[in-house]
Chains A and B, each alone.
Chain A
Amino acid sequence: MKTNPIVIKISDYTATNLAVATDEGEKVYQTIVKLFSDYQTIVLDFSGIALLTTAYLNGAIGQLYKDYSSRELGERLKLKNVSQDDLILLKKVTNRAKEFYNNEDSFGQTVQRVISGE
């Protein structure tokens, strides 16, 4: 039996209509992880949010790539009521997260790049 996706309203997790703080994003991340562990699909509803930062999105979504692949996230996480300019921020965050978590030893490689002057 297919279940309906669970809607997470971002504004329920922010003190104001601004989604700007990393730690507020972290709360959404924790909720997503919990629901994913229960095999749910999720709709992230951004209605009522006036401003978003990459700091918030890194906390809420970027770190999902630690444990989930791009394909899994595409299938299980849907977006609703996101403005076109905020979609760009989201895309930047997910692109960077894919680069970052695909690289298993990013710290070591960053150090190596700096030492070798790249």
Chain B
Amino acid sequence: MTIFYLNKVLYTNKEGYNSLALLFNQIIQSDDVDFSISFSKTTWFEANLSAVLGAIIRILEDDYLLSIKLIDIPTAIYGILTRNGFIGNIDYSSIDFSKETVVTFQQFAPNHDTAFDSYLKRELLVKKDFPKHTSLLGKRICTSIFEVFENARTHGKCQWIHTCGQYYPQKHPSRFDITVVDAGKTIHKNVNDYFQGKAVFSASDAIDWAIQYGHTTKKEQTGGLGLDLLKEFVKLNKGKIQIVSATGYWEFTEGQTSTSEMDYYFPGTIVTIEFNFDDTSFYMLKEELDVSPDNIF
């Protein structure tokens, strides 16, 4: 049995994703078949990263037929990972999600879209601060999450979609982070396949291309609106979007986009959205001024 150690701290940022991608690469390059992932050096593990670690473990077990154990989990982290259902069995009927800060770790098959609906209703929409100020904010947050889930379902062509969220009511502004991971076809592969070798994108440029208005790799079908709308909304909401796919890293925060390449390959796509729950903005897009049911078509 080979033991790999998680980093001391894992935050929801490029370094955090990189260290989890490194772990994946170290394990698949090893000749062993039994592995333990040790938390003994880890003092901080952001709960929504459970979606990333969960996806990695699932790929290693299902695709590489490896055995993975989690060991040496410190009490504080153990508490978080049991509360969000990442380890152990959670009794959903005993949890009052309106008071709970977690949105549990879940794995959905791509055809389980109604289960994802129920999950958000049960665990996010009931939070007592959701939405804190306006119902429109709540609606836009949910729409954004569904657009990301739908993208994972239709583009990743994966077996499982892994999700986990965490609400931070004590932070100012209070924020909610949700991570959605699909261990399927990466954006890098999808975009380069779409261009059939006529143009070749780096992994980070492929993400940047895919996020633009109207860009979709679906042939003969419209699309490419969901992520553009998400970006527009997150800018107004003063939130954040991070996307990792293959070796690409893309981040949008404070209205600015940054792209870079990661040190290690991630075998799928990670999307984390950070929403600002304290937002008091009144959302009025310019189209709203002159749109009516009679001028839609």
Contact across chains for A51 and B139 when beta carbons are under 8 A apart: yes
Please state if A20 and B150 are interface contacts (CB–CB under 8 Å): yes
* Contact flags B266-295 to A (C-beta < 8 A → 1, else 0): 000000000000000001010110011101
Is there contact, CB below 8 Å, between A111 and B199? yes
For residue A8, CB closer than 8 A to chain B, the reply is no
> How many residues of A sit at the interface, in one of the four size bands?
35 or more
Contact A51 B142 (CB under 8 A): yes
Residues of A within 8 Å of B224, CB to CB, are 96
Among B199, B213, B222, max chain A CB count under 10 A is at: B222
Our pick among B147, B196, B222 for the contact of A97 (Cβ within 8 Å) is B222
Indicate whether A21 sits within 8 Å of B150 (C-beta atoms), given known contacts A51-B139, A58-B222, A88-B287: yes
In the bound complex, what is the Cα–Cα distance between A1 and B161 (angstroms)? Answer: 52
Q: Which residues of A contact B215 (CB under 8 A)?
A: 110
Instruction: Say what secondary structure dominates the interface of chain B.
Output: helix
| Given contacts A22-B154, A54-B229, A114-B195, A91 and B147 within 8 Å (CB-CB) | no
Q: Number of residues in B with C-beta < 8 Å to the partner?
A: 44
Tally of A-B Cβ pairs under 8 angstroms: 117
Known interface pairs A58-B221, A88-B288, A92-B287. Does A20 touch B117 (Cβ–Cβ under 8 Å)?
A: yes
Nearest CB in chain B to that of A20: its residue: B146
In the complex, what's the smallest C-beta–C-beta distance from B171 to chain A, in angstroms? Answer: 26
**Closest partner residue, chain B, to A97 (CB atom):** B222
The chain B residue sitting closest to A62, CB to CB, is B222
- Give the residue of B150, B196, B214, B296 whose beta carbon is less than 8 angstroms from that of A100: B214
Question: Is B147's CB under 8 angstroms from A53's CB?
Answer: yes
Complex interface: chain B residues within 8 A of A70 (CB): 297
B161 CB to nearest chain A CB (Å):
13
Q: Which residue of A lies closest to B226 (CB)?
A: A54
Contacts of B151 in A (CB 8 A): 55
**Bound CA span A83–B139, Å:** 12
Name which residue of chain A comes closest to B214, CB basis.
A96
Are the CB atoms of A115 and B287 closer together than 8 Å?
A: no
* Pairwise interchain contact A16-B114, C-beta atoms closer than 8 A: yes
Would you call B113 and A94 a contact (CB within 8 A)?
Answer: no
Q: Is the CB of A87 within 8 A of B223?
A: no
Interface pair A15/B198, CB less than 8 Å apart? no
- Cα(A91)–Cα(B202), bound, Å: 33
Interface residues of A in 20-71 (CB under 8 A from B): 20-22, 24, 50-56, 58, 62-63, 65-66, 70
Query: Roughly how many angstroms separate A88 CA and B283 CA in the complex, as a whole number?
Result: 12
Residues in A whose Cβ lies below 8 Å from that of B285: 88
- Give the 10 A-B residue pairs with the shortest CB-CB distance, closest first: A54-B225, A73-B297, A55-B150, A74-B297, A20-B146, A62-B222, A15-B114, A79-B293, A21-B113, A114-B199
Give 9 CB contacts A-B under 8 Å.
Answer: A15-B117, A16-B117, A22-B153, A58-B221, A63-B222, A73-B297, A85-B140, A87-B296, A115-B199
Q: Residues of B with Cβ closer than 8 Å to A?
A: 113-114, 117-118, 136, 139-140, 142-143, 146-147, 149-151, 153-154, 194-196, 198-199, 209, 213-215, 219-226, 229, 283, 285, 287-288, 291-293, 295-297
Task: Identify 8 new A-B residue pairs, CB closer than 8 A, beyond the known A21-B150, A54-B223, A54-B226.
Answer: A18-B146, A51-B142, A63-B222, A74-B296, A79-B296, A92-B225, A96-B224, A101-B222
Interface of A toward B, CB cutoff 8 Å: 15-16, 18, 20-22, 24, 50-56, 58, 62-63, 65-66, 70, 73-74, 77-80, 82, 84-85, 87-94, 96-97, 99-101, 107, 110-111, 114-115
